[in-house]
Chain A
Amino acid sequence: MDIINEEIQRVPQVLGKKSFKKVTDIIAKPSESPAPKWWVIGLLGSMSLAALLFSLIGYLIWDGVGVWGLNNPVGWGFAIVNFVFWVGIGHAGTLISAILFLFRQKWRTSINRFAEAMTIFAVICAGIFPGIHVGRIWAAYYLFPIPNSMAMWPNFKSALLWDVFAVSTYFTVSLLFWYVGLIPDLATFRDRATTKVKRFTYGLFALGWNGSNRHWMNYEKAYLILAAIATPLVLSVHSIVSFDFATSNLPGWHTTIFPPYFVAGAVFSGFAMVLTLLIIARKIFKLEDLITIRHLENMNKFILATGTMVGYAYAMEFFMAWYSANQYEAFAFINRAFGPYAWAYWIMVSCNVISPQFFWFKKLRTNIPIMFVISIFVNIGMWFERFVITVTSLHRDFLPSSWDYYIPTWVDIMTFVGSFGLFFTLFLLFLKYLPIISISEVKGVMEIADPHYYDHHTEDKQ
């Protein structure tokens, strides 16, 4: 066992012989060089899509939910699908930053910042949808326990209210976790700043961090505790999201497998999104030595594992539909696979169950173009999973006379597209102005950071 551990640890986290200064230089480069053309174009494009999102939200509030394609049995459409999609994507960030931290998976250090940023931006996008789907937007404050003249309180026995608390806690804790991680790196940027504005802005948010080891002591403790509480938090958030469905009495939703199945799906989709973004960023910013092929391979293993779990859950749902001998449950699932929405179901199965299976082969999971394509497939598949769960369970409900077919309107579709605009606007700003790799953590896992390294390497002081 020890030999195996040794072997694993010997794989260097950072390739090539690099000094601490060199690592800082590589990571600080994007924020110090002038904005490249692709960035400006990308930002303008994303900002116009984000503007589209906000104008469509305005239109929705002005005109009412009638601008969406909801109909009588399908009262929950794109809004909930997009909400679950985005919040699920966020989960990989917390998994990488918190759970892998607790398991001392040092390879996480070069990707955690990136993944955490993705979490925060995805949760922002997610939060928009339940906020706007309430119909009477001026009554949205009913969601929170605010004392009011009607002497009314929210219903704490409702899964939808649990969700409000889960998602807002998740956002706040992720933001704190991200910010705590950023403080030492912001101080690095402050000390490298060449202009007054930069020095002031980075300095303001660095809070006067000076790298004191007395501070590092408390800092590391805080980071550990945050990781320890973020771990159960991330598992609880998607469990609670699944309660939105599972605590109802609708066949297709009312299943006990939902919480673990949703969590696995969330991690699955989140890793796919991190991978998609990372492959691009790594190439553009020439971070191949810090984000090595091993990092990407490890992520692909996660995608394979969680994708298989999701596939197992799909199969188990069918098994339960049969084994429960409940004809409504059986109908819901046969209708899902062979009914009017069969096309959506089979897109979901091919993207989520079949496509990650290619990662069994080392050749394929270390091949960048292939993993990029598969990560896109998984993103698509996971959106369809939420669509299938929501729409197929609703569209043929208890009363055949009210069965209907749900078709999203252009407003539904463009609002979803617009949410990508918001996501990428935030993401591009992050790429340009913040350290996209945790500088202090990467230095901490380098060989030359270990005091014992110098016991047997006296000649090459850096």
Chain B
Amino acid sequence: MTFHGYLCEVDNPKELVTLSKKVCDSGYTKFDTYSPFPIHGIDKAMGIPASILPWLSLTGCIIGLSVALILQIWTNGIDYKIPLSGKPYISLPAFIPVTFELTILFTAFFTVFGMFALNKLPTWYQPIFNNKSFKKATCSGFFLSISCLDNNFDEIKTHSFLEKAGAKNIERIEEK
């Protein structure tokens, strides 16, 4: 029975924002909140920095652009020259459509798989899924968890802190 931390519940989005603010202000960093939909303004309350995902997308965009240009210039301009309607072998205007499509394709791949990587998806098993009440998190429940790996974490103090902060149904997250 490994202990992972505490899980607690609140009633609505506003309470979750308030509670995250309290938890964040008390110096906890390894905590998370769970809700069936993204809550407006909770990132500020939790002190999460902005996502770095756009940079990954930009990387994909540049790679896609280069791959498309190299592919077309090499195949049609150098390796296998097709004389066609008086156009030069390397005809950039004629290469625009495929360049555009491949840029988009690579950006999409980097965006989606970048998001998976940042969120560590797929992670099919998580200790938090052992808590029966947590099933509501994807339907109508609003939860907050504090990991025992947090420097400020103390089994008794954190529990009473959460109680005082207005959290309900405080449960232990444990390995089965």
A residues sitting closer than 8 Å to B (CB atoms) are 19-21, 24, 145, 151-159, 161-162, 165-166, 169, 172-173, 176-177, 179-180, 183-184, 187-188, 190-192, 203-204, 207-222, 225-226, 229, 232-233, 236, 240, 243, 439-441, 443-444, 448-455, 461-462
* B160 contacts the other chain (CB 8 A): no
Report the Cα distance A155→B37, complex, angstroms.
47
Q: Please determine whether B32 and A212 come into contact, CB atoms closer than 8 angstroms.
A: yes
Report the Cα distance A425→B25, complex, angstroms.
54
Q: Please determine whether B115 and A219 come into contact, CB atoms closer than 8 angstroms.
A: yes
Encoded as 1 (CB less than 8 Å from any A CB) or 0, chain B from 1 to 44 comes to 00000000001111101001000000000001111111111110
* Contacts known (A156-B94, A219-B115, A451-B13); A188 close to B121, Cβ less than 8 A: no
Q: Which A residues are CB-close (under 8 A) to B138?
A: 184, 187-188, 190-191, 209-211
Report the Cα distance A19→B43, complex, angstroms.
24
Number of chain B residues close to chain A: CB under 8 A = 71
Identify which of B35, B104, B135 contacts A233 (C-beta below 8 A): B104
Report the Cα distance A123→B42, complex, angstroms.
38
Q: Which A residues are CB-close (under 8 A) to B108?
A: 172-173, 176-177, 226, 229
Given contacts A226-B112, A439-B36, 14 further A-B contacts (CB under 8 A): A24-B139, A177-B108, A184-B138, A187-B138, A188-B36, A188-B138, A191-B138, A210-B126, A211-B143, A212-B119, A215-B121, A236-B97, A440-B36, A462-B11
Q: Please determine whether A222 and B115 come into contact, CB atoms closer than 8 angstroms.
A: yes
Top 4 closest A-B pairs, CB basis? Answer: A207-B122, A153-B75, A222-B115, A20-B140
Encoded as 1 (CB less than 8 Å from any A CB) or 0, chain B from 98 to 110 comes to 1011101101110
* B48 contacts the other chain (CB 8 A): yes
Q: Which B residues are CB-close (under 8 A) to A161?
A: 98
Q: Please determine whether B12 and A454 come into contact, CB atoms closer than 8 angstroms.
A: yes
Q: Which A residues are CB-close (under 8 A) to B84?
A: 155, 157-158
* Contacts known (A191-B138, A444-B37); A156 close to B12, Cβ less than 8 A: no
Most buried by A among B38, B85, B123, B135: B38
Report the Cα distance A184→B11, complex, angstroms.
20
Q: Please determine whether A209 and B121 come into contact, CB atoms closer than 8 angstroms.
A: yes
- Chain A residue at minimal CB-CB distance from B123: A208
* Contacts known (A156-B72, A232-B104); A214 close to B48, Cβ less than 8 A: yes
Q: Which B residues are CB-close (under 8 A) to A180?
A: 112, 115
Q: Which A residues are CB-close (under 8 A) to B136?
A: 191
- Chain B residue at minimal CB-CB distance from A440: B37
Report the Cα distance A418→B111, complex, angstroms.
36
Report the Cα distance A154→B95, complex, angstroms.
12
B residues sitting closer than 8 Å to A (CB atoms) are 11-15, 17, 20, 32-43, 46, 48, 51, 53-54, 57, 71-72, 75-76, 79-80, 82, 84-85, 87, 91, 94-95, 97-98, 100-102, 104-105, 107-109, 111-112, 114-116, 118-119, 121-126, 128-129, 134-140, 143
* Contacts known (A222-B115, A226-B111, A232-B104); A145 close to B71, Cβ less than 8 A: yes
Q: Which A residues are CB-close (under 8 A) to B134?
A: 210
Q: Which A residues are CB-close (under 8 A) to B51?
A: 217-218, 221
- Chain B residue at minimal CB-CB distance from A174: B108
* Contacts known (A172-B105, A451-B41); A155 close to B119, Cβ less than 8 A: no
Report the Cα distance A179→B123, complex, angstroms.
17
Q: Please determine whether A451 and B36 come into contact, CB atoms closer than 8 angstroms.
A: no
Identify which of B95, B97, B129, B139 contacts A166 (C-beta below 8 A): B97
- Chain A residue at minimal CB-CB distance from B116: A207
Q: Which B residues are CB-close (under 8 A) to A214?
A: 32, 46, 48, 119
Q: Which A residues are CB-close (under 8 A) to B114?
A: 222
Q: Please determine whether A169 and B105 come into contact, CB atoms closer than 8 angstroms.
A: yes
Majority-rule SS of B interface residues:
helix
Return 23 A-B CB contacts under 8 Å, by A number. A20-B139, A145-B75, A152-B80, A156-B75, A157-B91, A159-B97, A165-B98, A173-B105, A180-B112, A184-B37, A191-B135, A191-B139, A208-B121, A208-B122, A210-B138, A213-B32, A222-B111, A226-B108, A233-B101, A449-B13, A450-B40, A451-B42, A462-B12
Q: Which A residues are CB-close (under 8 A) to B36?
A: 20, 24, 184, 188, 211, 439-440, 443
Instruction: Write the nearest CB–CB distance from A29 to chain B, whole angstroms.
Output: 14
Instruction: Write the nearest CB–CB distance from B14 to chain A, whole angstroms.
Output: 4
Report the Cα distance A188→B57, complex, angstroms.
28
Q: Which B residues are CB-close (under 8 A) to A183?
A: 121
- Chain A residue at minimal CB-CB distance from B43: A217
Q: Please determine whether A455 and B14 come into contact, CB atoms closer than 8 angstroms.
A: yes
- Chain A residue at minimal CB-CB distance from B139: A24
Report the Cα distance A220→B101, complex, angstroms.
23
Instruction: Write the nearest CB–CB distance from A175 to chain B, whole angstroms.
Output: 10
Q: Please determine whether B71 and A453 come into contact, CB atoms closer than 8 angstroms.
A: no
Report the Cα distance A215→B35, complex, angstroms.
11
Report the Cα distance A183→B12, complex, angstroms.
23
Q: Which A residues are CB-close (under 8 A) to B35?
A: 211, 213, 216
Instruction: Write the nearest CB–CB distance from B173 to chain A, whole angstroms.
Output: 12
Q: Please determine whether A451 and B17 come into contact, CB atoms closer than 8 angstroms.
A: yes
Report the Cα distance A156→B11, complex, angstroms.
58
Q: Please determine whether A213 and B38 come into contact, CB atoms closer than 8 angstroms.
A: yes
Identify which of B13, B33, B94, B129 contacts A450 (C-beta below 8 A): B13
Q: Which A residues are CB-close (under 8 A) to B105?
A: 169, 172-173
Instruction: Write the nearest CB–CB distance from A453 to chain B, whole angstroms.
Output: 7
Q: Please determine whether A222 and B53 come into contact, CB atoms closer than 8 angstroms.
A: yes
Q: Please determine whether B57 and A449 come into contact, CB atoms closer than 8 angstroms.
A: no
Report the Cα distance A243→B137, complex, angstroms.
49
Q: Which B residues are CB-close (under 8 A) to A154?
A: 75
- Chain A residue at minimal CB-CB distance from B107: A229
Instruction: Write the nearest CB–CB distance from A181 to chain B, whole angstroms.
Output: 11
- Chain B residue at minimal CB-CB distance from A458: B14
Report the Cα distance A29→B116, complex, angstroms.
29
Q: Please determine whether B137 and A211 come into contact, CB atoms closer than 8 angstroms.
A: yes
